[in-house]
Amino acid sequence: MEVTKRIEIKSTKPLRDLMAKHFLEIDEAVQTKNKKVAWCTSVGPAELAIAMGFLVYYPENHGAMLGSTRSATDCIPFAVANGYSPEICSYLTSDIGAYLKGETPLTKAYGIKSIPKPDVLIYNTNQCRDVYDWFSFYSREWKVPLLGINTPRNQPKAREDVVNLVASQLKEMVPNLEKVSGCKLDIDKFREVIALSRKCSDLWEMVLDTASARPSPLTFFDACIHMGPAVVMRGRQEANEYYRMLLAEMKERIDQGIAAVEGEKHRFYWEGMPVWGKLRSMSELFAKLKACIVASTYCSSWIFSALDPKDPFTSMARAYSSIFITLDDKQKEDYIEEKVKHFGIDGVLYHDAKTCPNNTNSRYAMTTRLSERMGVPNLVINGDLNDLRCFSEEQTITNVEAFVEQIEESK
C-alpha cells in the first residue's frame, strides 16, 4: 500500500520520555521499597491512591502495550490453558497470559524485568466486571489486598443515589488504604490531587477539541498514543505540563495549516476500542483514503469534568459514575450525536471488539437508530482490541475502501 507522508508530532519524543519515567519510577519503588505501589483500573479511584503516597500502575495500559507490540496473541493461550475463556477481555487474557509466560513488553521498552508487584489492588466495576476477575487473579497469586468500588451501569447520567453510593464506597476504602500505606489521608493533599487531575482532564479535552479544525491537526490514532499521560499520570503535575506543550503544538499546527491527513477530504468518528496491534496500518489506510478520524468515544473517556477539589469524594464519585461506558443507550446516542455535529462527521465507524462487549455499541441496533436520526452512514469493523485472530486486515481494507467510496458518491 502506498504510504502517505505525515508531519510527525514533535511532542512524541517528550511523551516517550515521560512514559519511561512513569514505569522506571514504579520499578525503582518495587526494587528499593521507597514507595508503595497500587494497581488501579483505568477509570478507578487513582486520585485517592496518589493522595496517600502510592505510585499507581495501570494493568490496562500494560494490556495495550501487549496489544501494540503484538505479543498479546502469543500470551493469550497461557491464560486459556489456565481456565480463562478466549471469549473474555483480551486485556485480561493477554496480561495474565504474559505473567504466566514470564514476559512483559516493559523489558524491551525500558529494561524492566517484570511487572511491578503491588502493595494493593484497586478496581472499579464502572467499566466491566472483568477488571474484578483480573485483579482477583493477582490478589490470589501474590496474597495482596483487593479493594474495589462496585458501580451500577446502564443508567441515565449520574443519578444522585448512584453518586452517593459510590462516594460512600470511596470513603469506606480509606481506612483500608491507610492500613497499607501506613499514613492517614490528608484531605488537603487529596483536594490538590483532584485539582491536578481535573486540570489534566481539561487540557486533554482541549487537545482533542483541536481536531474540530479543518484540516484536523491530529487523528484518532495520534490521540491513542498521546492519551498515555491522561491514563497513567493524571493527578500529577508532569501530565499537565505535557498537555500544555501538546496543546500549544496542536494550535501551532492549526495556525500553519498542518494537516494530520494531507488533503483531508472525509471526517470520521471512531466508536469503540482501538485495534492496538494495527494502529499504524489502519492509520496509513485512512490517510491514503484522505479520511481523518477526528474524534472518538475511547480517547474522550479520560475527560472527567465533574472533578471538583471543593468536594473531592462526591465529585470523584460523580466523575467516575458518569463516564460513557456507564450510560444507557439513549444517553450514549445523545453523546455521539453531539460529537458528530461538533466535529462535522461524515461517517461513524463502530469497532465490534470481539472480547469487549462493554466497549462495543454496535450489537443492539444503535447503528441503525443513530444513522436514521443523524443521516450519517456507518460501518461496523469486526476485530478486537488485542486478539488479532479476531481481525481480518484484508476484509477491513475492503470494507473501509467501499465505505469511503460510498461517502464520496453521496457528496
- What residues line the site for ligand SF4 (CB under 6 A)? 60, 89, 91-92, 127-128, 130-131, 356, 358-359, 385
CB of 385 to ligand SF4, least distance (A): 6
CB of 386 to ligand SF4, least distance (A): 8
CB of 359 to ligand SF4, least distance (A): 5
Q: Which is nearer to ligand SF4, 356 or 407 (CB)?
A: 356
CB of 355 to ligand SF4, least distance (A): 7
- Candidates 360, 408, 394; CA nearest to 380 is 360
CB of 360 to ligand SF4, least distance (A): 9
Which segments of 125-186 does DSSP mark as H helices, in order? 130-142, 160-181
| Residue bearing cell 477526528 | 294
Q: Which is nearer to ligand SF4, 234 or 266 (CB)?
A: 234
| Residue bearing cell 483541536 | 210
Q: Which is nearer to ligand SF4, 11 or 93 (CB)?
A: 93
Gap between the Cα atoms of 185 and 40, Å rounded:
18
CB of 58 to ligand SF4, least distance (A): 11
CB of 358 to ligand SF4, least distance (A): 4
Q: Residue 299: CB partners within 8 Å, gap ≥ 6?
A: 208, 220, 223, 224, 227
CB of 45 to ligand SF4, least distance (A): 16
Q: Residue 73: CB partners within 8 Å, gap ≥ 6?
A: 94, 277, 386, 387, 388, 389
Q: Which is nearer to ligand SF4, 170 or 385 (CB)?
A: 385
Estimate the share of the chain in helix, then strand, then coil, as percent rounded to the nearest 5: 55, 10, 30
- The identity of residue 27, as a single letter, is D
- Cβ(49)–Cβ(122) below 8 Å: yes
- Candidates 282, 320, 327, 326; CA nearest to 302 is 320
Q: Which helix (H) or strand (E) holds 380?
A: strand 378-383
Q: Which is nearer to ligand SF4, 67 or 217 (CB)?
A: 67
- Cβ(333)–Cβ(317) below 8 Å: no
- Candidates 53, 58, 19; CA nearest to 36 is 53
Q: Residue 181: CB partners within 8 Å, gap ≥ 6?
A: 36, 52, 53, 54, 119
Q: Which is nearer to ligand SF4, 136 or 371 (CB)?
A: 136
Q: Which is nearer to ligand SF4, 92 or 121 (CB)?
A: 92
Phi, psi of 352 (to 5 degrees): -90, 95
Q: Which is nearer to ligand SF4, 190 or 350 (CB)?
A: 350
Q: Which is nearer to ligand SF4, 89 or 247 (CB)?
A: 89
CB of 354 to ligand SF4, least distance (A): 11
